[in-house]
Structure 1
Amino acid sequence: MAKCFSFTATCDRWFRFSFSWAGLKPTTTDLGDGTVVHCWVPKTYKPNKPNLLLLHGLGANAMWQWNDFISSFLARFNVYVPDLLFFGESYTTRPERTEQFQAQCIAGVLEAQGVRKLNVVGLSYGGFVAYSLAAQFPEMVVKLVLCCAGVCMEEKDMEDGTFPVKSVDEALSFLIPQTPEKMKEMFEVVFYKPVTRMPTCIMQDFIDVLWKEYLQERTELVKALCKDRKMSNLPKITQRTLIIWGEYDKLFPLELGHRLKRHLDENGQLVVVKDCGHAIIKENPKEMYKHIKAFLVDPLLSPKKVNQTSGQKVD
Structure 2
Amino acid sequence: MPAPPPPSAAVPRRRWQSRLSPTLVRDRCYTRSFHSAGLRPAAVPLPDGAVVHLWLPPTAATGANPLHPVLLLHGFGATATWQWAPFLRPLLAAGLAPYVPDLIFFGASASPAADRSPAYQAACIAAAMTALPSAPQRYAVVGVSYGGFVAYHLAHAFPEAVERLVLIAAGVCLEEADLAAGLFAVEDIAEAASLLLPQRPEDLRRLVGLTFCRPPRFMPSCFIRDYIRVMCTENVKEKTELLYVLINGRKLSDLPKISQQTLIIWGEQDRVFPLELGLRLKRHLGDTSELIVVKDAGHAINREKPAELCRLIKNYIVDPSVKYRDDRKGSWKNAIKRFVGSSLRKVDSSRPLL
Secondary structure of 1:94 counterpart: coil
| Aligned equivalent of 2:161 | 140
Deviations 1:98-146 (A, max 9, x none): 0000000000110011232000000000000000000000010001000
Q: Given the alignment, which residue of 307, 318, 335 partners 1:286?
A: 307
Larger Rg: 2
In 1: Cα distance, 2:131 partner to 2:319 partner: 30
In 2: Cα distance, 1:145 partner to 1:59 partner: 19
Q: Given the alignment, which residue of 269, 276, 288 partners 1:255?
A: 276
Alignment of 1:161-172 (within 5 A): 161-172=182-193
Alignment of 1:264-283 (within 5 A): 264-283=285-304
1:23 and 1:44 in contact (8 A); partners too: no
1:294 and 1:306 in contact (8 A); partners too: no
| Count of equivalent residues | 311
Q: Given the alignment, which residue of 95, 116, 121 partners 2:114?
A: 95
Q: Given the alignment, which residue of 231, 234, 239 partners 1:210?
A: 231
Seq. identity, %: 47
Secondary structure of 1:92 counterpart: coil
Alignment of 1:1-315 (within 5 A): 4=17, 5-45=20-60, 46-75=64-93, 76-113=95-132, 114-303=135-324, 305-307=325-327, 311-315=328-332
1:110 and 1:116 in contact (8 A); partners too: no
Q: Which runs of 5+ in 1 are unaligned?
A: none
Q: Offset at 1:34?
A: 2.3
The answer to which structure has the higher strand fraction is 1
Secondary structure of 1:86 counterpart: coil
2:43 and 2:51 in contact (8 A); partners too: yes
Structure 1 residues 48 and 278 mapped into 2: Cα distance closer, same or farther (>3 Å)? closer
Could you say what the CA RMSD is over the residues aligned between the two structures, in angstroms?
1.4
Structure 1 residues 43 and 298 mapped into 2: Cα distance closer, same or farther (>3 Å)? closer
The one-letter code sitting in structure 1 at the alignment partner of 2:52 is V
In 2: Cα distance, 1:299 partner to 1:231 partner: 28
The one-letter code sitting in structure 2 at the alignment partner of 1:14 is C
In 2: Cα distance, 1:196 partner to 1:222 partner: 29
Secondary structure of 2:115 counterpart: coil
2:59 and 2:66 in contact (8 A); partners too: no
